A and B are shown apart, each in its own frame.
Chain A
Amino acid sequence: MSAAREIIPPPGPTPNGERSAGHLASMAVRGGDFLFVSGLAAVDLQSGERIRGTTASETRHILTNLKQLLEAAGSSLDKVVKVNVLLHSMLEAPNMNEVYARFFPDSPPARTVCGACLPHGVKVIIECTALR
């Protein structure tokens, strides 16, 4: 018997019957008991537009969207087991942390933070693995 794989539709408006053909990535995929969430950049979930801001404000947008995405999939921030945060500069880590801590006030998940070159002038990318 093998574990089930299921694409989790993104929260917000999706045209009827649209499959994820032509997309580079699914925002989230369930595999067995875990949800695998793509690296998220700061976007408006309604319009799909990129939101450009500071490291702190992009972090807040991403984690707000992540919360919504997880809850729409029947999970939640307190079921997250592992987070990877990519920052355009490690000098910004304290600014990210200050916002991040507000989203995970108790028993936060395991986490790695890494400075990297990010595409399209993005300042922060956050991905996670959560229990469904």
Chain B
Amino acid sequence: MTEALPRSAIEPRNPLLNASRSSNLPHVPGIRVGDYIFLSGMAPIDPRTGERNHGPIAEQVRTTLSNMQHMLESAGSSLERVVRVHVVLADISQMADMDRVYREFFPVDPPARTAWSMQLRFGNGCEIECVALAG
């Protein structure tokens, strides 16, 4: 009865933002399946250089969310179509700084969100993942 849903990897238009490929990591930036897009945890990568941006947390969050916007738009979706976000910080005391930038990206009808803190790789100050509706 059920046909297999088409499942395809998402490619950012800017190849420098394909962090898993440039770091040879065993994952893709995201998967589209049926009506949904599942993005991998995204780190603050400078879209001009592909290097990690380890500036102040506000800047790291802005870079990460702006890259997330790019990733979703590359897949024909957008920030307005995001339904769930996970925000992970390396330092819980930076929650208020993160929130200040976060709300600029989701000013109205924001997605469901959970935010917490735990150890992150590569000295990143934040990692953000989401589920969005396709197109």
The B85-101 residues at the A interface (CB cut-off 8 A) are 85, 92, 95, 99
- Note all chain B residues with C-beta closer than 8 A to A23: 110
Interface residues of B in 107-125 (CB under 8 A from A): 107-118
Contact of A119 among B85, B92, B134 (CB under 8 A): B92
**Does A84 belong to the interface (CB within 8 Å)?**
yes
Which residues from A are CB-within-8-Å of B99? 24
Interface footprint category on B? 20 to 34
Q: Does B135 contact A (CB under 8 A)?
A: yes
What's the Cα separation between A85 and B63 when bound, in Å?
28
Q: Which residues of B contact A24 (CB under 8 A)?
A: 99, 102-103, 106, 110, 113
Asked if B114 contacts A5 (CB within 8 A), the reply is no
User: Nearest-CB distance from B132 to chain A (Å)?
Assistant: 8
* A118 lies within 8 A of chain B by Cβ: yes
Q: Which residues of B contact A30 (CB under 8 A)?
A: 83
Which of A34-42, A53-61, A92-100, A102-110 lines the interface with chain B?
Answer: A34-42
Contact with A along B70-82 (1 / 0, CB 8 A): 0000000000110
Chain B's nearest CB lies how many Å from the CB of A23?
A: 6
Instruction: Determine the chain B residues whose CB is within 8 A of the CB of A118 once the complex forms.
Output: 92, 116-117
Q: Is the interface of A mostly helix, strand, loop or mixed?
A: strand
Q: How far does the alpha carbon of A99 sit from the alpha carbon of B131 in the complex, in Å?
A: 29
Q: Which of B81, B83, B92, B135 has the most CB of A within 10 A?
A: B83
**Which single member of A3, A20, A29, A117 contacts B84 (CB below 8 Å)?**
A29
A-B contact pairs, 27 of them (CB 8 A): A3-B35, A3-B133, A3-B134, A5-B81, A20-B108, A20-B109, A20-B110, A22-B107, A23-B110, A24-B106, A25-B110, A25-B111, A25-B112, A28-B112, A30-B83, A31-B132, A32-B36, A32-B133, A36-B111, A36-B131, A38-B114, A39-B113, A117-B118, A118-B92, A118-B116, A118-B117, A119-B115
Residues on B lying within 8 angstroms of A by beta carbon are 34-36, 80-81, 83-85, 92, 95, 99, 102-103, 106-118, 131-135
Sample of 19 more A-B contacts, CB < 8 Å, known A2-B35, A5-B80, A116-B118: A2-B133, A3-B133, A5-B81, A19-B108, A20-B109, A21-B107, A22-B103, A24-B99, A26-B109, A26-B111, A36-B111, A36-B112, A39-B115, A84-B114, A116-B117, A117-B92, A118-B92, A125-B116, A127-B114
